[in-house]
Amino acid sequence: MSEKPRDGTAPPFTFERSAELVAANSCWIAGGVSSNFRLGIAPTPLVFERGEGPYLFDADGNRLIDYYLGMGPMILGHSPASVRDAVHRQLDSGILFGGQSEIEAQAARLVCEMVPCAERIRFGSSGTEVVQAALRLARAATGRRLIIKFEGHYHGWLDNISWSTAPALNQAGPASEPVAVAGSAGQEAEAAEGIVVLPWNDLPALEARLAHGDIAGVIMEPAMCNAGVIVPGEGYLEGALAACRHHGSILVFDEVITGFRVAPGGAQERLGVRPDLAVFGKAIANGFPVAAIAGRADLLDMFATHGVLHGGTYNGQCIGMAATVATLSALTPELFATLEQRGARLRDGIADRLAEAGIVASVTGFPGIFFVAFGYAEPAKDYRDLVRRDQVGYRAFTQALLSRGVRALERGAWFMSSAHDDDVIDATLAAVADAAHEVAPQLRR
């Protein structure tokens, strides 16, 4: 019997080979994955062979329409020719100099031109790392110790900031005065002493705490994108900035997800509020490990003049810089207009298909990143609103999607890229309609 190879673009989409490989690789890689955020994915963490445009090709021979997009970086889709070509050219002239380069200066200039608050920048290699640079600058500039962070906001996995990113409500204390809940076993308990956790989108709570006069900095996702996609209430960001100014605290926007995704200049451009400092990663280099801290010149220059240490062997590495220049150069107003129009069609189409299947859901956020929550129809204001959603039912929905060749994050976020064209969106919406009808009868009432 001759076995015809599958073309991989139609059912059955099954994932046995990925499961086998993850199990086998667990001999070398802890849990078979290199990040805890890739664990526990049903039916199995997937193993991929290739990415192209809106598609990923996996070890089982499936071609999947991908909305993970590397957890956000692939704003131009997988392996876009412009980024590949720029990286190939750079490889021929050098990788890492332990010094400065013209390509680094070009990348810096582009960030400063695109991002409203960016009078100066420094490059790093991950979001986690540049968050630390921002917190250190805030403490150095104010001579104070404490940092305010918000429940449900994620700023990397390190001990001093990984508090209350996704706390269980029975451990999280009262809504108005949340308790700092550790994100990890083994986390240094004393690190909580440098942190104040507040509810987000609650200006009086922020103003009241800032009034103590002991806060070095306030860090927030300007639109909350990790535990849902929630746009701040009218006047919240403006009020937060004014209160920080009034009480001598530094406002830091964590734009690792929103940067170069919700607008060329990030959430600060789209929502019209300029923080003192902002951090970027993900979409800045379409998948290469590049991050940046940007902001007021007087603050950033403290790295050079006031003994504030910022280091990193790979900061400004030429391959990443070439990818940054190619990516940011591609993010034209025309590209964003198309992305917005297609992303809105996808977002609104998903909302319609779910409603047609009788599923109660909220679909919120931007065309470039939005969030689908089951069992919850009102607009959410903060983490505690969304934690009540039907996460089990949504997970069943993403599995039903995956078995139809669409890969969407189990937590509810959808990332868009400029490579997802109208045909891909039509195919996605057909899968959504089908999957919605399959899971609707089993959802929480």
Structure tokens at 430: 């057909």
Residue 154 falls in the annotated catalytic set: yes
Q: Are 220 and 253 in contact (CB under 8 A)?
A: yes
Q: Given 60, 66, 254, 390, which residue is catalytic?
A: 254
Binding map of ligand PMP across residues 48-87, x = CB under 6 A, - = no contact:
-----------------------x----------------
Of the ranges 249-257, 293-301, 304-312, 323-331, which one interacts with ligand PMP (CB under 6 A)?
Answer: 249-257
To the nearest whole angstrom, how small is the minimum distance from the Cβ of residue 64 to ligand PMP? Answer: 21
- The residues in 267-296 that bind ligand PMP, with binding defined as CB under 6 A, are 281
Amino acid at 59: A
To the nearest whole angstrom, how small is the minimum distance from the Cβ of residue 212 to ligand PMP? Answer: 26
Look-up of token digits 């809504």: 175
Of the ranges 20-28, 54-62, 252-260, 380-388, which one interacts with ligand PMP (CB under 6 A)?
Answer: 252-260
Kindly report the CA angle at 389 between 387 and 393, in degrees rounded to 5? Answer: 130
Structure tokens at 119: 């009078």
Interface with ligand PMP, residue 254, by CB under 6 A: yes
Of the ranges 42-50, 198-206, 250-258, 366-374, which one interacts with ligand PMP (CB under 6 A)?
Answer: 250-258
- Of the residues 18, 62, 126, 162, which one makes contact with ligand PMP according to CB under 6 A: 126
**Number of alpha carbons in the 13 Å side-chain half-sphere of residue 389:** 29
Q: Which residues contact 186 (CB under 8 A, 6 or more apart)?
A: none
Q: Given 276, 282, 383, 394, which residue is catalytic?
A: 282
From residue 204, alpha-carbon distances to 229, 231, 236, 380, 400 in Å are 22, 18, 10, 18, 43
Interface with ligand PMP, residue 162, by CB under 6 A: no
Interface with ligand PMP, residue 226, by CB under 6 A: yes
- Of the residues 128, 201, 324, 418, which one makes contact with ligand PMP according to CB under 6 A: 128
Interface with ligand PMP, residue 101, by CB under 6 A: no
Interface with ligand PMP, residue 155, by CB under 6 A: yes
Strand segments, DSSP code E, in 6-54 are 48-52
Residue 381 falls in the annotated catalytic set: no
Q: Which residues contact 219 (CB under 8 A, 6 or more apart)?
A: 131, 134, 135, 147, 148, 149, 153, 155, 161, 252, 253, 254
Q: Which of 253, 221, 219, 264 is nearest to 365 (CA)?
A: 221
Active-site residues, by number, are 154, 254, 282
Residues making contact with ligand PMP (CB under 6 A): 71, 126-128, 131, 154-156, 221, 226, 254, 256-257, 281
